[in-house]
A and B are shown apart, each in its own frame.
Chain A
């Protein structure tokens, strides 16, 4: 596709449920990033992939959060036992190289935990 694609665009779930958010980066981009943005705040770093491996997962808040990128392209962010505090917009971004600092963002997945 022409840009970073994220699905679903909106997800409403109940506290304690499991959620998966998907990101399809720009073709050819080797680096993929997940950020979380709460209202009135800047994006908060979660995890960064270079190829298939997680190069830096220091932003994942706890072990309920996990992300994979098995074939070096599409990535899935997985959240177990969701809590109301997980409600936010989850942004995915990709860049051409590991040190490529122009990040191209998707439109985000808005997660609401009731």
Chain B
């Protein structure tokens, strides 16, 4: 089992819909999780971080963490074509700050 797993997609949603991206992780000791967005041909950029069980909202983005089930999700409300990108879930290896492990990414396409 990979340390961080995501469905590769592509996930296609119509403009204005809610996009739901999911990620599971294997290390029960993981305490922090991150969502990076990567546009085609560009480098990843951090969009959300979450450390506690429950929801964390930032504008149209909501990150959800369930440590008991070892999954973390990202919801994008009112999806826009500009949200079309690959979304990468990441967690520190063995909860050490240096080595961040990424999932394979989920490609999201928002259709106008």
Give me the interface of A with B, judged by CB distance under 8 Å.
31, 33, 35, 40-45, 48, 50, 55-56, 58-59, 91, 97-103, 105-108
Q: Is the interface of A mostly helix, strand, loop or mixed?
A: loop
Q: How many contacting A-B pairs (Cβ < 8 A)? A: 62
- Which of B12-20, B43-51, B71-79 has 4 or more CB atoms under 8 Å from chain A? B43-51
Q: Which residues of B contact A (CB under 8 A)?
A: 4, 6, 8, 32, 34, 42-46, 49, 88, 90, 92-93, 96-105
A-B contact pairs, 16 of them (CB 8 A): A33-B100, A42-B88, A42-B102, A42-B105, A45-B93, A45-B102, A48-B98, A48-B99, A50-B98, A58-B99, A98-B97, A98-B98, A101-B92, A101-B97, A102-B46, A107-B42
Apart from A56-B99, A105-B43, A108-B43: 14 A-B pairs, beta carbons within 8 A = A31-B98, A33-B98, A40-B8, A42-B4, A42-B104, A43-B44, A44-B102, A50-B98, A58-B99, A91-B44, A100-B97, A101-B100, A102-B46, A107-B43
CB-nearest residue of chain B to A95: B97
Partner of B104, one of A41, A48, A99: A41
List, in ascending order, chain A residues with CB within 8 A of B96's CB.
Answer: 56
Given A55-B98, A106-B43, are A101 and B32 neighbors across the interface (CB < 8 Å)?
yes
State in angstroms the CA–CA spacing of A58 and B105 once bound together. 22
Tell whether, in the assembled complex, residue B99 and residue A45 are in contact, meaning their CB atoms are under 8 Å apart.
yes
Nearest residue (CB) in A for B105 is A42
Rank and list the top 5 A-B pairs by shortest CB-CB distance, nearest first.
A99-B97, A42-B102, A105-B43, A48-B98, A42-B104
Distance (whole angstroms) from the CB of B25 to the closest CB of chain A:
13
Chain B residues with CB below 8 A from A33, complex form: 98, 100
